[in-house]
Amino acid sequence: MRQAMLCAALSLSLAGAALAQTPTLVGGTWVNFRDDPDPVHPGDIIRTTLLAQFSPSGRLSVRTATDSRTVHGAFVTIYRYELTSASTYSVIAVDYAPKQICGAGGFCGPAQPFVPMGARSDCAFQLRGASFADISCDGQPAAQFTRH
């Protein structure tokens, strides 16, 4: 009897360890690098870096940085996310930064959010192991992310 209980306990322990190792979006920082043509300056490229962090509490922080010959900037959008299936989630934009931007002449004014607050998106993801994910929102082509 005691041996059966030990075996059952070991089986549950191993099952829990296996579940803990199941790949998930939560934890770490997901990174995507993208180069796009500059629509204003033909021949130039705009490099965009996305850093996404999914917290266990349902908070998704997305830091976006852009850089080109003429465009430089960084901003953060905070979302509330909810898993809707094993491979989909929805997000609602709830906050952003910075709230103020300043120009070269010293004039400062309110910054507009990159994504309208309250906007909802539906996303699909496919995990490829613990370190790679393809993520697509609102029918857009999937972007490849690497966990760091």
pLDDT (tens digit per residue) in 91-120:
999 999 999 888 778 889 999 998 999 999
Higher pLDDT, 23 or 70: 70
Query: pLDDT category, 11, cuts 50, 70, 90?
Result: very low
- Residue-wise pLDDT tens digits, 58-81: 999 999 999 988 878 899 999 999
* Residue 6 clears pLDDT 50, i.e. is over it: no
CATH code of domain 24-147: 2.40.128
Domain boundaries, the chain: 24-147
Please report the beta strands in the chain, taking only residues with DSSP state E, as ranges in sequence order: 30-37, 45-54, 59-67, 72-85, 88-97, 100-102, 108-110, 120-128, 132-137, 143-147
CA distances, 131 to each of 59, 72, 144 (Å): 20, 29, 11
pLDDT value of position 63 = 96
Query: pLDDT category, 22, cuts 50, 70, 90?
Result: low
pLDDT value of position 19 = 38
* Residue 16 clears pLDDT 60, i.e. is over it: no
* Residue 15 clears pLDDT 80, i.e. is over it: no
Helix (H) or strand (E) holding 99: none
